[in-house]
Amino acid sequence: MAALLLTLFRPPAIDAQGGIRSVYECVAWTLPAVLLVDVLRARALGYGKYGVAVAERWTAGIVRFIAVVVCFLAGWLESVVVAVLASWLPGLVVGLVLHLASGRRSTDGAALAEADAGKIASYAARSWASSVVGLALIRATEVYMAANSTATQLGLFVIAAAVADVPILALSAVRDIVVRTLSRPEVDFAARLGLMLRVVGGLSVGSSIAIVLAAPVLVPLVFGRDYGPAVAVVQVLVVATIGNSLSSVLFAGLAARDRPQAQVVAQLFGLAAMIPGLVLSVPTFGALGAAATVAVAQLVTAFAAFVITARSMAFPMMALLVPNRGDVRAVIYVLKPGKTT
């Protein structure tokens, strides 16, 4: 339905730009496969099959990368449609195959029949609202720069974002695992949320420092010397990555306690910081100004999510952040063979 509506009611600006309509429609008609993979991934996580979900994410990413490289070497990337298909379809096919091959025969239908449809619909609607605002928070910068900056500055920002987001890709499964773990009634919610927040925060800070140090070598090596100015943009954007990682854990905690709508409030604070920041910084500082604005917006979002979580659930705020000896023991326990979260 979404693909059909997007095709029938595409914005007039799509038709006004030569060659964009075919790309738009290609992306729109991958939505059914994208959503199916998302459903199958959620099902795997629901059964505790974290290995399947993680394997699918990594394998799909590697296959997409190989497909793009092959198209580049063959000279096919001159066609934007081919580029879109190469970067989307192989990963989707791999995801479908892996999940369907590992499918578990169960009483899913009976479980859904017994569930409260009203509660499911309410939760889905509230989660959807937070997803829409979150998408605006992620895409606002690129949309604004496309209309109010040069192609060079936009290119620098996109390259920098791709590099700075590496830690996010590595931690992409954390949110799903956090939701499932914290949804268990027997779990000490505050203690487990604090542990995950501190561990993810530590991993994010460590990986971000590594990217800051590697960026002066990595960016020119991978993208060429012309993209040297993107190094500073990468180094600023990693701050946004840290905020994004922390927000993901806090949002997962809120979702696990049936409060996904609280995410919208935190994200709106981030948008409120981002929009004026873009207007003031992009015309003067270009990609670097946009990166600083995104970093501030993500930190504001994370702080708002932290305050909302602590207050709405009556947690002492510092208890979520201060490390303790139990953190080390918990990490060692989970890392032992045969142990799970």
Model confidence over 14-58: pLDDT tens digits? 777 666 787 888 888 888 888 888 888 878 877 777 778 778 877
Share of the chain above pLDDT 70, in %: 84
Q: Which amino acid is at 178?
A: V
Tokens standing for residue 214: 């590697």
CB burial of residue 203 (10 Å; 0-12, 13-18, 19+):
middle
Whether 109 has a pLDDT exceeding 80, the answer reads: no
What is the pLDDT at residue 271? 92
* Distance separating alpha carbons of residues 297 and 247, to the nearest angstrom: 11
- CA distances to 83, 249, 268, 270 from 133, rounded to whole Å, are 28, 17, 7, 10
Exposure letters 266-303 (e unless 16+ CB within 10 A, then b): bbebbbebbbebbeebbeeebbbbbbbbbbbbbbbbbb
Q: What is the largest CA-CA distance in the chain?
A: 61
In single-letter form, the type of residue at position 304 comes to A
Query: What is the predicted pLDDT for the residue at 287?
Result: 92
Q: Tell me the per-residue pLDDT of 88-101, one tens digit each, with 9 for 90 and over.
A: 788 888 888 888 88
What's the Cα-to-Cα distance from 313 to each of 72, 182, 270, 320, rounded to whole Å? 51, 13, 21, 12
What pLDDT is stored for residue 273 in this prediction? 93
- CB-CB contact of 235 with 212 (8 Å): yes
Q: Which amino acid is at 294?
A: V
Determine the pLDDT at residue 330: 61
Residue type, 249: V
Alpha-helical runs (H) found in the chain = 2-8, 12-16, 20-28, 31-46, 50-74, 80-101, 108-114, 117-148, 151-164, 166-170, 174-182, 189-223, 230-256, 262-312, 325-335
In angstroms, the CA 190 to CA 196 distance is: 10
Using a 10 angstrom Cβ sphere, with 0-12 exposed, 13-18 middle and 19 or more buried, the burial of residue 193 is buried
Tell me the C-alpha distance between 339 and 341, whole Å.
7
| Predicted confidence band of residue 301 (pLDDT cuts 50, 70, 90) | very high
**Both tokens of residue 125?**
């609607």
> Tell me, what DSSP letter sits at residue 322?
S
Q: Is 141 exposed, middle or buried (0-12, 13-18, 19+ CB in 10 A)?
A: buried
pLDDT score at 223: 83
Range with the lowest mean pLDDT among 174-178, 229-233, 313-317?
A: 174-178
Q: What is the pLDDT of residue 2?
A: 86
Query: In the predicted model, what is the mean pLDDT of residues 287-311?
Result: 92
Residue 87 half-sphere exposure toward CB, CA atoms < 13 A: 12
Q: What is the pLDDT averaged over residues 198-220?
A: 87
Least confident of 46-60, 211-225, 318-332: 318-332
**What is the pLDDT confidence band of residue 78, given thresholds at 50, 70 and 90?**
confident
Q: What is the pLDDT of residues 116-135, one digit of tens each?
A: 777 878 888 888 888 888 88
Cα 238 to the center of its chain, rounded Å: 14
Q: Considering the chain, what percentage of its residues have pLDDT values greater than 90? A: 16
Residue 304 has a pLDDT of: 93
pLDDT recorded at residue 234: 92
Per-residue confidence (pLDDT) for residue 309, from 0 to 100: 87
Query: pTM above the 0.85 mark?
Result: no
- Among 151-160, 199-208, 212-221, 232-241, the minimum mean pLDDT is found in 199-208
Per the document, the length of the chain is: 341
| pLDDT over threshold 80, residue 296 | yes
Band (pLDDT 50/70/90 cuts) for residue 213 is very high
Q: Which of 101, 95, 112, 114 is nearest to 46 (CA)?
A: 112
pLDDT at 103: 64
Provide the pLDDT confidence category of residue 184 given band limits of 50, 70 and 90: low
**What band does 332 get if pLDDT is binned at 50, 70 and 90?**
low
Higher-scoring residue by pLDDT: 83, 154: 154
